Amino acid sequence: MAEPLKVGLAGLGTVGSAVIELLERGRDKLVARCGRPIEVVALSARSRSKKRRFDVRAFRWVADPVALAQDPAIDVFAELIGGAGDPAKQAVETALACGKPVVTANKALLARHGPRLAALAERHSVALNFEASVGGGIPIIKTLREGLNGDSFTRIYGILNGTCNYILSRMEHDRLAFEDCLREAQRLGYAEADPSFDVDGHDTAQKLSILASLAFGTKVDPDAVYVEGISSITLPDLDAASELGYRVKLLGVAVKTEAGIEQRVHPTMVPKESAIAQVMGVTNAVTIDAEGLSPITLVGPGAGGMATASAVVSDIADIARGVRAAPFGRPAARMTAIRKAPMQRHEGGYYIRLLARDRPGSAATIARRLAQQQISLESIVQRHESRAEHASEPGRSGEAVPVILITYATSEDAVHKALAAVRRDRVVSGRPQVIRIEKN
Amino acid sequence: MAEPLKVGLAGLGTVGSAVIELLERGRDKLVARCGRPIEVVALSARSRSKKRRFDVRAFRWVADPVALAQDPAIDVFAELIGGAGDPAKQAVETALACGKPVVTANKALLARHGPRLAALAERHSVALNFEASVGGGIPIIKTLREGLNGDSFTRIYGILNGTCNYILSRMEHDRLAFEDCLREAQRLGYAEADPSFDVDGHDTAQKLSILASLAFGTKVDPDAVYVEGISSITLPDLDAASELGYRVKLLGVAVKTEAGIEQRVHPTMVPKESAIAQVMGVTNAVTIDAEGLSPITLVGPGAGGMATASAVVSDIADIARGVRAAPFGRPAARMTAIRKAPMQRHEGGYYIRLLARDRPGSAATIARRLAQQQISLESIVQRHESRAEHASEPGRSGEAVPVILITYATSEDAVHKALAAVRRDRVVSGRPQVIRIEKN
């Protein structure tokens, strides 16, 4: 049998430990698939003495991950430390510079330093694989990088954060407020103690920037992503969406427009019958649109130790089999600077929920302000609802009546201007709620 | 720039023509992705003079596809002729034996001769790529072959035939009979003049046998697939399914069981809220279950010239980039003979619709026969329905009452024995309808 592939693994959290377990359990299958065994030969982590599901004493211990990255006894370096800074960054750079292929689950590192690391990997003719960085166990990186080479992508969008999708699913299903669902997610370990990175959309933005790069051949640029989180979404929004045939999801969307690449993360209304609307709980999903083709959707576990570890092991197996693709699907020199489409130029349908003061002329004023911006309405619903439903909403006074507007395609800029005018007119109370609509 | 990859293409039907169009349109993108251009340099097809969407005179013409396969001027042979026999088979064998990589969309050839062709490709160290053979534009072959290497697959199932899914979707949506939908599918070009290969399940069986081989490392064996088509499905079945929370789909299912690999194609009731139940029309979908992981589902266009051509071009691009994986994900010598799990050992839930003669004791007799086979019932619905709904059903007499049973998991064998006994008892009229239930 061929020589085993010797792995040095840094970072022993949930994912690192699951990788060790999967490699052990899948040993024979991996030999059959790769033609050689895969062996973890050395480990590195902050604490050696921490209680773990496996015996660390079975492996050589290297306290410093950067030392492990250049250890002559390893063939491949698996970075599961996380974070865009050191030691993860230094360790990955060191391994690549030593001519060792790298497998990483580190979305922050890729989002921040992807193009530079890809160039480094290319210079040393080694693989840099990061399937686990986006979409957990869904093979979305490989699909974009190697699987759909003939296609001209026009749009890629998806549910990339399980925490947010869990919260929105629970809100809808159990009629609970955002805060209650967030607490529940924290209790179940789906959300961090500081949940802002997830619920404010930043996690999704990093992942989206990686997918956009693979789809459009642009340099990864998380700063070019417009980001809005889900904390402003209320039950009345979900109810109104449902009545109108939509469901609310936190989507990351990257679209090719005439103005450039538009990258945005925000709560989004998607048609209830679309594939992406069916995705509930911590599951992730990505839809790929290409010219002249029906959309392709991939659905699967977006997080969790085993799902992420499964992606890491796949990446290691590719290295064992000698497969090496350009990290971002094309030579680093051919990755183009992103031409950022500004958000105010975004065109699409909008859901707008206003609390109109219940007095003559309010509706007419709102309608006039929208018309002044050339905004056409697909539907308008105004209704006196039971007060209890809105009791908790800030700004709701006894006399305010919810008005829900669905616009035809219009520009972000027009919507902002119309709503600013409506607020100046003092015909609404509180802040209008605006949710973009994404059609499939 | 590096030398172009020179393609010889045999077969100029819808797919072959679309490949030429895609390669032309995507030229620059492919150079960026592969680092070299891809050029079709020679063609072969039955008729040179047939009217086509491109000018055949722009390409060298080789009348005999086998001669094209060994032409020294080509680097890769694309076989889009179809059929398990010659000339497709001989042309593919010739190309591989000459050390030329092969790309094919030919499911019949792969199902019938896959392991032998894989061994031949391996012996000559060339790629044999067949992404287009299953699931059209969905990258399911690559995902199973290269994308989920760490996983221990337990089950793979999917909607693999667009014609059948179109017919079942239309029946449900427009309340039409099978025959009417079939005629409509033929009119739209979704079904052949002789539709039996599709509607009787044989197309699905060939595709399933290829997926099962990739998932379980077994030799492709389409003869080991149990096959049942959709022509017996009636509107009352779809209605009853819907009422019970299910939808009927033609699934191909391959499962690892203690008795071996069970491969089966049959109309299947799937829970309405499952990802696969949402797939309507000619769209395909495949769900992959692996140990300790949530399921992964891929949804996309299952057929059509562009979708299939997109898969062919991806395969060619892999060759241009120098990627070569073992055709079935492992060395040919490691593909094991399939241990076929006999269908009578299948365990699962069943939907059974009987027309019980409306006389005292019928229900008691049916219940007794099921109990004798240790079959437990999850639900039983008996109802006098309007006669019109069932007027067209053979065997329906004026006094017959439909009885719908849903069983808990039981064996195929037990169901057959119980129903044979019920028929001998002459308490039902006509043939009982049996649809297997697949849980997600």
Query: What's the predicted TM-score (pTM) here?
Result: 0.91
To the nearest whole angstrom, how far is the Cα of B292 from the nearest Cα of chain A?
A: 7
Q: Which residues of chain A does B22 touch, with a Cβ-Cβ cutoff of 8 Å? A: 150
Q: Which residues of chain B does A147 touch, with a Cβ-Cβ cutoff of 8 Å? A: 131, 139, 142-143, 147, 314
Q: Which one-letter amino acid corresponds to residue B157? A: Y
Residue of B nearest to A279 (CA): B275
- Dihedral through CA B286, CA B287, CA B289, CA B290, nearest 10? 60
Q: Which residues of chain B does A309 touch, with a Cβ-Cβ cutoff of 8 Å? A: 150
pLDDT over 50 (residue A73): yes
Smallest Cβ–Cβ distance between A306 and the set B292, B316, B323 belongs to B292
> In which band, very low, low, confident or very high, does the pLDDT at B53 lie, cut at 50, 70 and 90?
confident
- In this complex, do B217 and A29 lie within 8 Å of one another by their Cβ atoms? yes
Structure tokens at B219: 């030799």
- In this complex, do A297 and B298 lie within 8 Å of one another by their Cβ atoms? yes
- In this complex, do B299 and A301 lie within 8 Å of one another by their Cβ atoms? no
To the nearest whole angstrom, how far is the Cα of A112 from the nearest Cα of chain B?
A: 22
Q: Which residues of chain B does A137 touch, with a Cβ-Cβ cutoff of 8 Å? A: 148, 293-294, 296
Structure tokens at A34: 């790769």
> In which band, very low, low, confident or very high, does the pLDDT at A396 lie, cut at 50, 70 and 90?
very low
Is residue A142 part of the annotated active site? The answer reads: no
pLDDT over 50 (residue B412): yes
**CA–CA dist B204, B157 (Å, integer):** 11
pLDDT tens digits for range A258-307: 989 999 999 999 998 888 898 999 899 999 999 888 899 999 998 888 99
pLDDT tens digits for range A335-360: 988 888 989 999 999 999 999 987 87
Please list the residues that pair with A410 across neighbouring strands: A348
To the nearest whole angstrom, how far is the Cα of A287 from the nearest Cα of chain B?
A: 9
Considering only CA atoms, which of A156, A145, A139, A158 is closest in space to residue A293?
Answer: A156
Structure tokens at B263: 């491969």
Q: Which of A288, A294, A315, A318 to mutate to test the interface with B (most CBs of B within 10 A)?
A: A294
- In this complex, do B149 and A313 lie within 8 Å of one another by their Cβ atoms? yes
**Residue A1 has what pLDDT?**
64
- In this complex, do B309 and A152 lie within 8 Å of one another by their Cβ atoms? no
**Residue A398 has what pLDDT?**
52
What's the rounded mean pLDDT across residues B149-158? 89
Write the CB contacts of A391 (distance below 8 Å, at least 6 apart in sequence): none
> In which band, very low, low, confident or very high, does the pLDDT at B388 lie, cut at 50, 70 and 90?
very low
- In this complex, do A32 and B217 lie within 8 Å of one another by their Cβ atoms? yes
Helices (H), B26-87: 27-34, 65-69
**Element holding A25 (H helix, E strand):** helix A14-25
**Residue B363 has what pLDDT?**
83
Indicate the range of A335-344, B98-107, B309-318, B398-407 predicted with least confidence: B398-407
Contact B277, B264 (CB under 8 A): no
Q: What percent of chain A has pLDDT over 70?
A: 96
Q: How buried is B58 (Cβ within 10 angstroms: 0-12 exposed, 13-18 middle, 19+ buried)?
A: exposed
pLDDT tens digits for range B332-380: 988 988 888 989 999 999 999 999 987 878 888 999 999 999 999 998 8
Q: Which residues of chain A does B275 touch, with a Cβ-Cβ cutoff of 8 Å? A: 275, 278-279, 299
> In which band, very low, low, confident or very high, does the pLDDT at A415 lie, cut at 50, 70 and 90?
very high
Q: Which residues of chain A does B24 touch, with a Cβ-Cβ cutoff of 8 Å? A: none
- In this complex, do B275 and A299 lie within 8 Å of one another by their Cβ atoms? yes
- In this complex, do B217 and A325 lie within 8 Å of one another by their Cβ atoms? no
State phi, psi for A414 to the nearest 5 degrees.
-60, -40
**CA–CA dist A170, A160 (Å, integer):** 17
CA A18-A21-A22 angle, to 5 degrees, is 85
Long-range own/partner contacts, residues A64-70 (CB < 8 A, 24 or more apart): A65/A10, A65/A11, A65/A91, A66/A90, A66/A91, A66/A94, A68/A8, A68/A10, A68/A42, A68/A43, A68/A44, A69/A8, A69/A10, A69/A94, A69/A95, A69/A98, A69/A100, A70/A94, A70/A95, A70/A98, A70/A100
> In which band, very low, low, confident or very high, does the pLDDT at B382 lie, cut at 50, 70 and 90?
confident
User: What number of CA atoms fall less than 13 Å from residue B57's CA on the CB side?
Assistant: 2
pLDDT over 90 (residue B123): yes
Q: Which of A19, A310, A314 to mutate to test the interface with B (most CBs of B within 10 A)?
A: A310
Residue ranges and CATH numbers for the domains of chain A are 5-137+307-334 (3.40.50.720), 148-301 (3.30.360.10), 344-437 (3.30.70.260)
Considering only CA atoms, which of B193, B196, B221, B217 is closest in space to residue B206?
Answer: B221
Q: How many helices (H) and strands (E) does chain A have?
A: 15, 17
User: What number of CA atoms fall less than 13 Å from residue A289's CA on the CB side?
Assistant: 12
CA B158-B159-B161 angle, to 5 degrees, is 135
**CA–CA dist A171, A235 (Å, integer):** 7
Smallest Cβ–Cβ distance between B296 and the set A131, A138, A151 belongs to A138
Q: Which residues of chain A does B294 touch, with a Cβ-Cβ cutoff of 8 Å? A: 137, 283, 300-301, 304, 307
Contact A242, A172 (CB under 8 A): yes
- In this complex, do A314 and B32 lie within 8 Å of one another by their Cβ atoms? no
Strands (E), B212-343: 225-227, 246-257, 260-271, 283-290, 296-301
**CA–CA dist A11, A207 (Å, integer):** 20
**Residue B397 has what pLDDT?**
45
Contact B90, B70 (CB under 8 A): no
Residue of B nearest to A272 (CA): B278
Smallest Cβ–Cβ distance between A147 and the set B22, B139, B299 belongs to B139
Number of A–B residue contacts, CB under 8 Å? 178
**What sign for the dihedral angle of Cα A295, A130, B287, A181?**
negative
Q: Which residues of chain A does B326 touch, with a Cβ-Cβ cutoff of 8 Å? A: 33, 321
Q: Which residues of chain A does B152 touch, with a Cβ-Cβ cutoff of 8 Å? A: 25-26, 29
**Residue B270 has what pLDDT?**
95
Residue of A nearest to B318 (CA): A146
What's the rounded mean pLDDT across residues B114-130? 96
Q: What percent of chain B has pLDDT over 70?
A: 96
pLDDT tens digits for range B206-265: 999 999 999 999 999 999 999 999 999 999 999 999 999 999 999 999 999 998 999 999
**What sign for the dihedral angle of Cα A395, A241, A343, A354?**
negative
Structure tokens at B324: 């070569």
Contact B113, B277 (CB under 8 A): no
pLDDT tens digits for range A195-244: 999 999 999 999 999 999 999 999 999 999 999 999 999 999 999 999 99
Residue of A nearest to B137 (CA): A296
Contact B209, B220 (CB under 8 A): yes
For B228-241, give one letter per residue: b (16+ CB within 10 A) or e: bbbbebbbbbbebb
pLDDT over 80 (residue A151): no
pLDDT over 60 (residue A385): no
For A329-351, give one letter per residue: b (16+ CB within 10 A) or e: bbbbeebeebebbebeebebbbb
Kindly report the average pLDDT of chain B as a whole number: 91
pLDDT tens digits for range A101-141: 999 999 999 999 999 999 999 999 999 999 999 998 999 99
Q: Helix B362-372 to helix B412-424 angle, to the nearest 10 degrees?
A: 150
**Residue B398 has what pLDDT?**
52
What's the rounded mean pLDDT across residues B37-46? 96
- In this complex, do B139 and A143 lie within 8 Å of one another by their Cβ atoms? yes
- In this complex, do B295 and A300 lie within 8 Å of one another by their Cβ atoms? yes
- In this complex, do B137 and A310 lie within 8 Å of one another by their Cβ atoms? no
Whole-complex ipTM: 0.89
**CA–CA dist B430, B328 (Å, integer):** 45
**Residue A293 has what pLDDT?**
87
Q: What percent of chain B has pLDDT over 90?
A: 72
**Residue A22 has what pLDDT?**
93
**CA–CA dist A356, A371 (Å, integer):** 17
pLDDT tens digits for range B328-337: 998 898 898 8
pLDDT over 80 (residue B385): no
What's the rounded mean pLDDT across residues A174-184? 94
> In which band, very low, low, confident or very high, does the pLDDT at A397 lie, cut at 50, 70 and 90?
very low
pLDDT over 50 (residue B396): no
The residues of B annotated as belonging to the active site are 207
**CA–CA dist A271, A250 (Å, integer):** 14
- In this complex, do B299 and A297 lie within 8 Å of one another by their Cβ atoms? yes
3-state secondary structure of A219: coil
**CA–CA dist B37, B32 (Å, integer):** 9
Q: Which of B15, B173, B219, B310 to mutate to test the interface with A (most CBs of A within 10 A)?
A: B310
- Dihedral through CA B143, CA B148, CA B149, CA B151, nearest 10? -140
**Residue B189 has what pLDDT?**
84
Smallest Cβ–Cβ distance between B33 and the set A26, A299, A329 belongs to A329
CA B150-A16-A75 angle, to 5 degrees, is 70
